[in-house]
Amino acid sequence: MGGRDATMVLLDENGIRCDGRKVDEPRRIMIKAGGLKNADGSAYIEFGDNKILVGVFGPRDVHPKHMSNTDTGILRVRYHMEPFSVGERKNPAPSRREIEISKVIKEALEPAVMLEKFPRTAVDVFIEILQADGGTRCAALTAASVALADAGIPMRDMVAAIAAGKVADTVILDVNNEEDQAGQADMPIGYMPSLEKITLLQLDGVLTPEEYKKCVQVGVDGCKLVYDLQKKALNDKYFGNKGG
Ligand code: ADP
């Protein structure tokens, strides 16, 4: 947020955004289930110019043992950005931002995963951001849900995620990097469509109460579109002829 390029037109007089989309139009989304033969489950997502690979391992023994829980399994999530994933090389050391996003994604996935079925074990989710263009936490959360399902981890639902936001005093769906930097608000939402429950909601920026409600509605509707693509990815792998 904060107007990195004050001259950029985020919304023109015809209601078209800086990348040619309409206000309620998501970027192109492609999700593939599977792909990593050494992982128990995996997924790859392209969400606009974001490119993200997720590998899931487990349920497996926890080391060190004292980190395990006798009553339930634990979920561990590592969100990692490749140094080449952004325009200016990112320092390979884990940043505060990566640590925070790992936690946010873990907490957004926990309500979906039936960890109580696997006491003393851990399920590890490794997220590799190969290319970032705004909205990586939503794209990563979406792909992580597919990778968990691909690993056969019992789940109550999948979490689908997308951001709503505000540019030029207008609520938009799926905030890209320019809109995130120069826009007025960014609201990532993670949602379990079958259970109708929100598991992630963050807000960077300022909204009126009406705009807030509209962002939640637009975001939840967007999550339902993403959910269809998650299911399609799993269908293509397990019932289609695309393999993976
Ligand atoms: P999200 O990717 O979930 O939107 P942020 O709002 O923190 O998370 O980041 C927005 C975007 O800023 C990222 O998607 C990425 O394109 C860019 N970005 C993040 N970290 C860096 C970095 N270290 N260097 C350059 N760009 C970055």
pLDDT in tens, 58-80: 999 998 899 999 999 999 999 99
Q: How far, in Å, is the centroid of ligand 1 from the Cα of 216?
A: 22
Q: How far, in Å, is the centroid of ligand 1 from the Cα of 132?
A: 7
> Does 131 reside within a domain?
yes
For the chain, the straight-line distance linking the first and the last C-alpha, in angstroms and rounded, comes to: 39
User: Domain span at residue 99?
Assistant: 29-239
29-33 sheet: strands from edge to edge: 29-33, 41-47, 50-61, 121-131, 74-81
Specify the ligand 1 atom closest to the Cα of 95.
23
Which pLDDT tens digit goes with each residue over 21-39?
Answer: 999 999 999 999 999 999 9
Would you give per-residue pLDDT tens digits along the chain (244 residues)? 544 455 679 999 999 999 999 999 999 999 999 999 999 999 999 999 999 999 999 999 998 899 999 999 999 999 999 999 999 999 999 999 999 999 999 999 999 999 999 999 999 999 999 999 999 999 999 999 999 999 999 999 999 999 999 999 999 999 999 999 999 999 999 999 999 999 999 999 999 999 999 999 999 999 999 999 999 999 999 999 654 4
Specify the ligand 1 atom closest to the Cα of 90.
23
Q: How far, in Å, is the centroid of ligand 1 from the Cα of 160?
A: 20
**Per-residue DSSP letter, 195:** T
> Does 18 reside within a domain?
no
Q: How far apart are CA 55 and CA 149, in angstroms?
A: 11
Q: How far, in Å, is the centroid of ligand 1 from the Cα of 95?
A: 11
Token pair of 239, please? Answer: 């019932």
**Per-residue DSSP letter, 9:** -
Q: How far apart are CA 128 and CA 122, in angstroms?
A: 19
> Does 13 reside within a domain?
no
Ligand 1: which residue has its CA nearest to atom 9? 134
CB-based burial of residue 2 (10 Å sphere; 0-12 exposed, 13-18 middle, 19+ buried)? exposed
Return the best residue to mutate from 77, 180, 204 for the ligand 1 pocket (most ligand atoms within 8 A of CB): 180
Ligand 1: which residue has its CA nearest to atom 4? 135
Which helix (H) or strand (E) segment is 110 a member of?
none
> Does 21 reside within a domain?
no
> Does 3 reside within a domain?
no
Number of neighbouring beta carbons within 10 Å of residue 177: 19
Q: Which residue has the tokens 């926990």?
A: 110
> Does 67 reside within a domain?
yes
Nearest Cα residue to 20 out of 238, 218, 185, 176: 176
Token pair of 124, please? Answer: 């590890």
Q: How far apart are CA 219 and CA 164, in angstroms?
A: 5
Q: How far, in Å, is the centroid of ligand 1 from the Cα of 187?
A: 14
Q: How far, in Å, is the centroid of ligand 1 from the Cα of 221?
A: 24
- What residues flank ligand 1, with Cβ below 6 Å? 86, 88, 90, 97, 132-137, 177, 180
Specify the ligand 1 atom closest to the Cα of 132.
16
CB-based burial of residue 74 (10 Å sphere; 0-12 exposed, 13-18 middle, 19+ buried)? buried
CATH number of domain containing 136: 3.30.230.70
> Does 7 reside within a domain?
no
Per the structure, how many domains does the chain have? 1
26 neighbors 161 (Cβ within 8 angstroms): no
Specify the ligand 1 atom closest to the Cα of 134.
14
> Does 53 reside within a domain?
yes
Which pLDDT tens digit goes with each residue over 215-224?
Answer: 999 999 999 9
pTM tops 0.85, yes or no: yes
